[in-house]
Amino acid sequence: MSVRQIVIILILAFAIYLAWTFSRGRSGRVPLYLLPWLVAISLLAGAVAQLLGATGVVEALNVMAIAVSIAALASSPRLWREQVQRDLQGAKLERAFESADLLSWRAWLKLAKRLGAAPAACWYFGALAAAALVAVLAALTVPDTSRTFAIVAVLIPLPFAALSSLWLYRAARGVPPGR
């Protein structure tokens, strides 16, 4: 086995762990706010690796984006709502954005407070869709024989982006907009 294959097996094992814990109604040791970060960073890093010609790295990063997004679909909207509501309690949404907010749903909740739940959900979806678009554009640089597979692979996280946007919108409807 090559190192690339071992890394892919570890990624798939991690995704199976995620799907199993999410299907049980809990998130285990992996909070849900990390999943969009993992998907977006995997897609963007895969695009950069694609442009640099590192096909083994691209494959592992695309598998990461696909596996994490599919595993996240095993979670329920209730689980997303619970985690968002937990971060909403005691959060000072009037304060300016801080880097520590990125380690919870607080950054997204602050955006929902300023713009409203629907526009914040659109920004969330847009960020994930933009990462997928960048990955698609990078996939256009591969030879014709594997281009279709590369493009389809980076579009698989879009259902996760759409459903999680809807779940986040529903979780933040109670956040009153305003500065």
The per-residue pLDDT for range 9-47, each reduced to its tens digit, is 999 999 999 999 999 988 778 888 899 999 999 999 999
Give me 143's structure tokens. Answer: 């030879």
176 within a domain of the structure (yes/no) = no
Residue 140 belongs to what domain range? 3-171
DSSP helix/strand/coil, 104: coil
Q: What would the pLDDT profile of 63-112 be if each residue is shown by its tens digit?
A: 999 999 999 999 988 998 888 888 888 778 788 888 888 888 888 888 88
Average pLDDT score over the chain: 87
Q: Label residue 135 by pLDDT band (50, 70, 90).
A: very high
178 within a domain of the structure (yes/no) = no
**Rounded Cα gap, residues 35 and 39, in angstroms:** 6
Q: What percent of the chain has pLDDT over 70?
A: 95
160 within a domain of the structure (yes/no) = yes
41 within a domain of the structure (yes/no) = yes
pLDDT at 139: 87
177 within a domain of the structure (yes/no) = no
pTM of the prediction?
Answer: 0.87
Residue among 25, 27, 47, 44 at smallest CA distance from 35: 27
Q: How many structural domains compose the chain?
A: 1
155 within a domain of the structure (yes/no) = yes
Specify burial of residue 54 (Cβ count, 10 A radius: 0-12, 13-18, 19+): middle
117 within a domain of the structure (yes/no) = yes
Note the residue count of the chain: 179
Q: Label residue 166 by pLDDT band (50, 70, 90).
A: very high
The amino acid at 32: L
